[in-house]
Homo-oligomer: A and B are copies of this chain.
Amino acid sequence: MEIRSTFERLDKKFTGFGGLEPKGITRLLYSPEWREAVQALIGEFEDNGFEVKKDSIGNITGRIEGSEKPNETIMAGSHIDTVARGGHLDGQYGILAALTAAIYLKEKYGQPKRSIEVLSLAEEEGSRFPYTFWGSKNFFNLQDNKDVQDIVDADGVKFVDAMRESGFDFRSDDKVRDDIKAFLEIHIEQGQVLELEKKQIGVVTGIVGQKRYTINLKGQANHAGTTPMGYRKDTVVAFSEIVQNLVGKAKEIGDPLVLTFGHVTPVPNTVNVVPGEVEFSIDTRHIDQEELNKFGETVETTIKEVAEKYGMEVDINLWMDESPSLMDDEIIKTIEESAKEFAGDSYKVMPSGAGHDAQIFAEFVPTGMIFVPSIGGISHNIEEETDMDDLVRGIEVLAQTMYKLAY
């Protein structure tokens, strides 16, 4: 078999479940399109002689039994759900690349020494119901069923009803698998680093930790005509000083630290009133916990200093504080060797700025991630795309890594 044509066939087939045209692929958890995709994947596993297992909530595995160490499993996969109006690569590529690699390895090298499994996780995006990582959390029995008991989708359908209608149900046993010796996830980068640096492969060191804040500055609303500059407590001016100051500091610290002020709303948000209040968000991420914490302190200190300088009240609410999730050093090394063999120096060791199922796995089993470039950095959109050459290169590197670990 040939990697490219096999992947092309699979990609075309699975993109049909949720349709790409005219507005992007929509394959939400427990929807008819999702059920079709899961069913088709089971068919592919069976056609290729893989042993199929389903868990109670909808995670699916296709297995090739190992000859020497059948109880040590090398696993690869990603999530089968999409965002609403997404592209054909986010999640789907990770499953189909793993399937293509497994078919390829089995055909080329026969039965592996360790068992190989391709994994399809039920859900990662949180696009239908307000709950993310439902698939991987269930995989490790991390879910709390109470969290989904009352949630509904945009049409008011209960999570529980959608799940049962699809023929699935809550996880019932407490046992977690202890045979997994490695988990590999290949994913589009969803950023522009590889493209701009002209690299085919990203060897992921980990998933960044992040802190998200909502900040409220309170100054004084005033008439924009009758209030001289010296008598103002203009919160948009103070906000702009905070932005300039913190962006400067973030750039000094350098990559991979990122800092974003994505949300800004002055009050009353009117042309002729000096804004007496402003609410804004901060999103900052780093792969190193200590660096992230240090920068979090800088964020808070700087905001307080600027607020004090302008005589304003400030409220800083840190509402998300996630730790970085590091990939396994040995697996990173193995992926890097495979990348060298198949892509020469066209690879980059880099962190992931976005969240992935791999971060859940990394808490429990040695985990590695591979990135391929995203054209224009676009994802969660019909325009999400990657050159076929890069997609194939990614599968080659994944297959080589699986080979090194399983054969």
Residues of A within 8 A of B (CB): 189-193, 196, 208, 210, 212, 222-231, 234, 236-237, 239-241, 243-244, 247, 250-251, 255-266, 268-275, 281, 283, 285, 352-355, 377, 379
Q: Using Cβ atoms and an 8 Å threshold, which residues of chain B touch A281?
A: 271
Kindly state the separation between the CA atoms of A240 and B247 in the bound complex, as whole angstroms: 10
- The reply to whether B262 and A274 contact each other, CB–CB distance below 8 Å, is yes
Do A251 and B229 form a contact, CB below 8 Å, given A234-B260, A244-B241, A281-B271? yes
Please give the count of copies of this chain that the complex contains.
2
Kindly state the separation between the CA atoms of A258 and B396 in the bound complex, as whole angstroms: 63
- The reply to whether A228 and B243 contact each other, CB–CB distance below 8 Å, is no
Listed from nearest, the 3 A-B pairs whose CB atoms lie closest are A191-B226, A225-B353, A240-B240
- The reply to whether B269 and A256 contact each other, CB–CB distance below 8 Å, is no
Kindly state the separation between the CA atoms of A272 and B224 in the bound complex, as whole angstroms: 32
- The reply to whether A258 and B224 contact each other, CB–CB distance below 8 Å, is yes
Closest to A259 in B: B229
**Interface of A (DSSP majority class):** mixed
- The reply to whether A272 and B261 contact each other, CB–CB distance below 8 Å, is no
Partner of A231, one of B192, B225, B240, B265: B192
Q: Using Cβ atoms and an 8 Å threshold, which residues of chain B touch A266?
A: 262-264
Q: Using Cβ atoms and an 8 Å threshold, which residues of chain B touch A234?
A: 247, 260-261
Kindly state the separation between the CA atoms of A264 and B269 in the bound complex, as whole angstroms: 7
| A223, A239, A261, A355 pick with most chain B CB within 10 angstroms | A223
Q: Using Cβ atoms and an 8 Å threshold, which residues of chain B touch A274?
A: 260, 262
Partner of A230, one of B212, B255, B352: B255
- The reply to whether A193 and B228 contact each other, CB–CB distance below 8 Å, is yes
Q: Using Cβ atoms and an 8 Å threshold, which residues of chain B touch A193?
A: 226, 228, 231
Q: Using Cβ atoms and an 8 Å threshold, which residues of chain B touch A230?
A: 251, 255
Q: Using Cβ atoms and an 8 Å threshold, which residues of chain B touch A379?
A: 223
Q: Using Cβ atoms and an 8 Å threshold, which residues of chain B touch A196?
A: 231
Kindly state the separation between the CA atoms of A238 and B317 in the bound complex, as whole angstroms: 25
Kindly state the separation between the CA atoms of A251 and B234 in the bound complex, as whole angstroms: 13
Do A224 and B262 form a contact, CB below 8 Å, given A192-B231, A244-B241? yes
Do A228 and B258 form a contact, CB below 8 Å, given A239-B240, A354-B223? yes
- The reply to whether A273 and B262 contact each other, CB–CB distance below 8 Å, is yes
Closest to A266 in B: B264
